C-alpha cells in the first residue's frame, strides 16, 4: 500500500510541524483512540519514516515501550533490515509496565521482525541512590547506556500523564502530586505540564531526554484525540530536529488550539 493513501495533506503536516516547532509531521487519517486501523496506519507511517531516515549499514535504534511501540514492532518486516545492520536497544528499563509492552520486549520484537539484533537493559525501576551508583558502575549497564547515547535514532511514544501514572502503579500520593502540579504528558519517564516543564521524573536509568539533541534522528509516534494535549506539551521539550507521526484527530485538536 502506498503511504499517500493514508496521509493528510502536506500543507497540514507542514502547518502542524511549524505549530509544534519541529522538523516534520506525518498525519494519518482517523482517530487512533477509537480506530485500530488508524493506529496501524501510524505504525506503518513510522516505519516509512525510519526507512527514510536510517542510512544503509550499521545503525543503533533506541526504543521505548508502550502499546504504540508494540504496534510499530508488529508491522515491521525484513524490508527495513535490507542493506542495514540494525541494533535495537531499549531506552529504559522496566518502568513498572506489563512485560509485553516494556522497552526490552519491544526491542527484541523489532530485532526479530527485521532480522536485526537487540540488547537488553534489565534494571529495576525504583532504586536507592546507593544501588543506582553501583548499577551505573556495572560494566554491562554502563556499556548499554553508552550505546544508547550514541544511537542513530530514537523512537518512542508520548502518554497522558495520569493514564501512564496509573498504568505504572504509582501510588495515590504521587497521583495527587501530578494532578496538583498540572502534569499532562509523560515520555522518557518525565511528566511535564502544559508549558513543557518537568514536574515529576521516574527511573533514572536509561537514555535521558537531555541527550536527544545529540541523537541524529528523533521520532515520536503518538495520536488520538485524547493525546493531543500531551503531544503539544511534550513537543515543547524536544529538539527542533524531531519528527512526529500522528493522526488527524490529534492534529486537528492541536491546530484548533485544543
Q: Is 156 in the site for ligand F6P (CB under 6 A)?
A: yes
Partners of 117 in the beta sheet? 87
HEC-encoded secondary structure of the chain:
CCHHHCECCHHHHHHHHHHHCCCEEEEECCCCCCCHHHHHHHHHHHHHHHHHHCCCEEEEEEECCCHHHHHHHHHCCHHHHCCEEEEEEECECCCCCCHHHCHHHHHHHHHHHHCCEECCCCCCCCCCHHHHHHHHHCHHHHHHHHHHHCCCEEEECCEEHHHHHHHCCCCHHHHHHHHHCCCCEEECCEEECCCCCEEEECCCCECCHHHHHHCCEEEEECCCHHHHHHHHHHCCCCCCCEEEEEEHHHHHHHHCCC
Q: Is 95 in the site for ligand F6P (CB under 6 A)?
A: yes
Cβ of residue 33: shortest distance to ligand F6P, in angstroms?
10
Cβ of residue 207: shortest distance to ligand F6P, in angstroms?
11
Among 10, 67, 131, 210, binds ligand F6P (CB under 6 A): 67
Q: Is 63 in the site for ligand F6P (CB under 6 A)?
A: no
Q: Is 90 in the site for ligand F6P (CB under 6 A)?
A: no
Cβ of residue 26: shortest distance to ligand F6P, in angstroms?
17
Q: Is 65 in the site for ligand F6P (CB under 6 A)?
A: yes
Q: Is 200 in the site for ligand F6P (CB under 6 A)?
A: no
**Binding characters for ligand F6P, 117-146, by CB under 6 A (x = yes):** ------------------------------
Q: Is 193 in the site for ligand F6P (CB under 6 A)?
A: no
Applying CB under 6 A, the span of 64-72, 109-117, 174-182, 191-199 interacting with ligand F6P comes to 64-72
Residue nearer to ligand F6P on the CB measure, 37 or 58 = 37
Q: Is 187 in the site for ligand F6P (CB under 6 A)?
A: yes
Q: Which residues bind ligand F6P (CB under 6 A)?
A: 64-69, 95, 156-159, 164, 186-187
Amino acid at each position: 500500500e502506498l503511504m499517500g493513501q493514508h496521509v493528510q495533506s502536506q500543507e497540514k503536516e507542514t502547518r502542524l510541524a511549524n505549530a509544534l516547532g519541529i522538523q516534520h509531521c506525518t498525519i494519518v487519517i482517523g482517530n487512533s483512540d477509537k480506530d485500530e486501523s488508524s493506529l496501524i496506519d501510524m505504525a506503518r507511517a513510522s516505519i516509512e519514516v525510519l526507512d527514510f531516515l536510517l542510512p544503509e549499514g550499521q545503525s543503533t535504534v533506541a526504543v521505548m515501550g508502550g502499546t504504540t511501540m508494540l504496534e510499530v514492532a508488529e508491522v515491521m518486516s525484513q524490508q527495513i533490515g535490507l542493506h542495514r545492520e540494525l541494533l535495537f536497544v531499549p531506552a529504559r528499563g522496566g518502568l513498572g509496565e506489563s512485560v509485553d509492552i516494556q522497552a526490552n520486549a519491544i526491542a527484541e520484537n523489532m530485532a526479530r521482525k527485521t532480522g536485526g539484533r537487540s540488547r537488553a537493559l534489565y534494571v529495576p525501576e525504583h532504586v536507592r541512590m546507593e544501588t543506582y551508583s553501583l548499577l551505573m558502575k556495572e560494566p554491562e549497564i554502563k556499556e548499554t547506556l553508552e550505546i544508547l547515547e550514541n544511537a542513530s535514532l530514537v523512537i518512542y511514544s508520548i502518554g497522558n500523564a495520569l493514564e501512564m501514572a496509573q498504568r505504572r502503579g504509582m501510588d495515590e500520593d504521587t497521583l495527587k502530586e501530578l494532578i496538583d502540579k498540572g502534569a499532562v504528558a509523560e515520555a522518557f519517564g518525565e511528566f511535564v505540564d502544559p508549558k513543557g516543564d518537568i514536574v515529576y521524573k521516574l527511573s533514572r536509568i536509561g537514555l535521558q531526554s537531555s541527550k536527544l539533541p545529540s541523537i541524529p534522528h528523533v521520532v515520536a509516534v503518538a495520536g488520538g484525540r485524547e493525546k493531543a494535549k500531551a503531544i503539544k506539551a511534550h513537543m515543547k521539550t524536544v529538539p527542533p530536529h524531531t519528527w512526529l507521526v500522528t493522526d488527524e484527530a490529534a492534529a486537528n485538536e492541536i491546530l484548533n488550539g485544543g
